[in-house]
């Protein structure tokens, strides 16, 4: 009688382990499906023409596909019969009625990863209807109507100078960011009376002479962001008309006196919501038909 009871109890434990093993396999299959769905959503989330966002999405897709491949290997390695391997038995084994520490760590890691992936998907959805993408699409339409498209400039503090420099080089004019900064700073110093009296700090106070001197030094030797003042100065330095284009208001023209003689304007797309820090200048190039994204 004792022997029969012992065998019956042992058989019941094996059923429990097999059930747990089957549950783990089903869990992997479910996670694999969810991962595949996330990849498909990401493939269609990058706006056409937004090269930076497309690159980010491509990298994220590659990472997810790598995880999907690894997950497939783990699933195929798991036992499909009723005999648990020592690895499966060790991961599913209960000690004193509690889940093993190894399994707890795995579950916690999986939960965190799943939560992170969900945040990425939600962020991509927000990007499609957020200020950044709405502004970008409007800007594309404005430029397309003029036979132009955005030429992306890195957001590193030098965006204004690099955007102007890009168009100067396209026109066959030799220039550099460093040269433009030095010439702009010198023009501000030489024509201080045209700028200094009208410059104010963030709190509304007028610039002191010391403030103005430092401002010019920053223009010349740092990556300080350039704006309206610098555009005006560079227009005079280069004797070039400049046009600042925004997505929702009429273009602002600067240096119109230099349009005489057929001088074409330097076009500067101005984005309020391009990056986390806000304002940004891009350049332009002749419009080309949009290429396929390359996503399946």
Interatomic CA distance for residues 216 and 205, integer angstroms: 18
Catalytic residue among 107, 131, 156, 248: 156
17: tokens are: 């382990």
Catalytic residue among 50, 159, 236, 271: 159
CA dihedral of 120, 123, 124, 128, whole degrees rounded to 10? 180
Is 280 considered catalytic here?
Answer: yes
Q: Which residue, 206, 277, 265, is CA-closest to 238?
A: 265
Segment holding 286, helix H or strand E: strand 283-286
37: tokens are: 């769905």
The β-bridge relationship of strands 266-275 and 98-99 is unpaired
Is 177 considered catalytic here?
Answer: no
123: tokens are: 């962020």
Is 273 considered catalytic here?
Answer: no
Instruction: Give φ, ψ of 293 to 5 degrees.
Output: -65, -25
Contact 143, 287 (CB under 8 A): yes
Q: Which residue, 237, 238, 295, 228, is CA-closest to 268?
A: 228
Strand, coil or helix: 176: coil
Q: In a 10 Å sphere around its CB, with 0-12 CB exposed, 13-18 middle and 19+ buried, how is residue 21 labelled?
A: buried
Catalytic residue among 166, 236, 271, 280: 280
User: In the sheet that 242-245 helps form, which strands lie side by side, from edge to edge?
Assistant: 252-254, 242-245, 266-275, 278-281
Number of residues that make up the chain = 296
Give, as one character, the DSSP assignment of residue 268.
E
Q: What amino acid positions are annotated as catalytic residues?
A: 156, 159, 280
């Amino acid at each position: 009688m004792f022997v029969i009871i012992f065998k019956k109890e042992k058989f019941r434990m094996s059923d429990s382990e097999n059930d747990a093993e089957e549950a783990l396999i089903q869990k992997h299959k479910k996670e694999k499906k969810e991962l595949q769905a996330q990849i498909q959503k990401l493939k269609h989330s990058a706006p056409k023409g937004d090269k930076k966002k497309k690159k980010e999405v491509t990298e994220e897709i590659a990472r997810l596909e790598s995880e999907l491949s690894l997950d497939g290997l783990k699933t195929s390695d798991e036992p499909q019969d009723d005999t648990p391997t020592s690895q499966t038995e060790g991961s599913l084994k209960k000690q004193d009625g509690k889940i093993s520490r190894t399994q707890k760590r795995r579950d916690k890691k999986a939960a965190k990863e799943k939560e992170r992936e969900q945040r990425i998907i939600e962020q991509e959805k927000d990007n499609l209807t957020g200020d950044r993408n709405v502004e970008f699409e409007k800007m594309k339409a404005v430029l397309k109507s003029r036979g132009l498209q955005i030429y992306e400039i890195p957001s590193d503090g030098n965006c204004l100078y690099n955007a102007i420099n890009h168009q100067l080089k396209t026109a066959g004019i030799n220039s550099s960011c460093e040269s433009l900064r030095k010439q702009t700073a010198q023009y501000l110093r030489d024509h201080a009376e045209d700028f200094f009296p009208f410059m104010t700090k963030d709190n509304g106070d007028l610039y002191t002479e010391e403030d103005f001197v430092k401002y010019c030094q920053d223009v010349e030797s740092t990556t300080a962001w350039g704006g309206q003042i610098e555009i005006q100065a560079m227009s005079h330095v280069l004797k070039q008309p400049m046009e600042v284009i925004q997505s929702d208001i009429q273009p602002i023209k600067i240096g119109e006196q230099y349009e005489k003689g057929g001088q074409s304007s330097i076009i500067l797309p101005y984005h309020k919501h391009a990056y986390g820090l806000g304002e940004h200048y891009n350049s332009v190039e002749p419009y080309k038909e949009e290429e396929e994204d390359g996503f399946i």
